[in-house]
Amino acid sequence: MEDFKVLEIKTSIFSDNSLQASKLREELKDKKVFLLNLMSSPGAGKTTTLTRTIEALKHRLRIGVMEADIDSDVDARTIQKTGVKTIQLHTGGMCHLDAEMTRQGLEGLDTDGLDLVILENVGNLVCPAEFDTGAVKNAMILSIPEGDDKPLKYPLMFSVCDVVLINKMDVMPYFDFDLETCKADIRLRNPNAIIIPISALRNEGIKEWTDWLNNAVKSWCE
């Protein structure tokens, strides 16, 4: 018997996703629920980073997580072990979520009593950046093995994110990755982006990230 819900979400019937996203944000503001959209490519360390984030914040905030994947419930099972409210979203082959799909997920999760909901979006640096989910803030993870050229190759993703976490700093000595060049290229696309180097595996840099997130949630919920 499943101990968390698996929801098959459907694509939006509305043509204007931006309108639906804005409406969803207004509703979340009224409910004092902060929605974070967390994006990355597969293997960048989203789930490990999310686990560290929950560990740091679950005694300060009431947290729920929506795990979005084309199929499987692997990540939801991992996150469920942290003790937070969790739901698995199956996109039916879609490589992203739009605002209506996110709304369906929130309804399935039930946000009553929650301060923070984190949407772990489908692993992809292209499609998720093209659709406003209705999140209050967007964050992404770039891992060292992916290379420092990704801000140039996937400009939209870096343009729409409020925070960029550069993960797997512990392996940087083994890769041809220029951190300062990467930061400069991110700022070229998005001068306002907050850039935080982390190692989720070693729990390094997580405090700076979770302090930012905690303050953002508190400000939104005031």
Whether 163 is covered by a domain: the verdict is no
Please indicate, yes or no, if residue 191 is contained in any of the structural domains.
Answer: no
For residue 188, the surrounding DSSP H or E stretch is helix 179-189
- Does 60 map to a domain? yes
Domain count, the chain: 1
pLDDT one-digit tens code per residue, 78-120: 899 999 999 988 877 677 889 999 999 999 999 999 999 999 9
Domain presence at residue 151 = no
Contacts of residue 46, defined as CB under 8 A and 6 or more positions apart, other chains included, come to: 38, 39, 40, 75, 120, 123, 141
Cβ(89)–Cβ(7) under 8 Å?
yes
The structure's pTM equals 0.91
- The SS3 assignment for 68 reads strand
Query: What pLDDT does residue 71 have?
Result: 66
Predicted pLDDT at 1: 38
How confident is residue 15, by pLDDT bands cut at 50, 70 and 90? Answer: low
Which residues, at least 6 apart from 3, have a Cβ–Cβ distance to it below 8 Å? 80
Count other Cβ atoms within 10 Å, centred on residue 191. Answer: 7
Q: Is residue 116 part of a domain?
A: yes
pLDDT for the residue numbered 76 = 84
- The answer to the question of residue 154 being in a domain is no
| Per-chain mean pLDDT for the chain | 92
Domain assignment present for residue 167? The answer is no
Give the DSSP letter of residue 148: T
**Full residue range of the structural domain in which residue 84 is found:** 5-138+201-221
Residue 146 carries which side chain, given as an amino acid letter?
A: E
Q: How far apart are CA 42 and CA 39, in angstroms?
A: 9
pLDDT of residue 74: 82
Residue 215 pLDDT > 90, yes or no?
Answer: yes
Q: Taken in order 88, 91, 94, 97, is the CA torsion positive or negative? A: negative
**Model confidence band, residue 68 (pLDDT cutoffs 50, 70, 90):** confident
Within-domain flag for 35: yes
How many angstroms separate the CA atoms of 75 and 53, rounded? Answer: 15
Would the pLDDT of 9 be above 90?
A: no
Identify the band that residue 2 occupies on the pLDDT scale cut at 50, 70 and 90. Answer: low
Average pLDDT of span 155-180: 97
Mean pLDDT over residues 117-124, rounded?
Answer: 93
Say if CB 120 and CB 68 are below 8 A apart. yes
How far is the C-alpha of 32 from the C-alpha of 26, rounded, in Å?
Answer: 10
% of the chain surpassing 70 pLDDT: 91
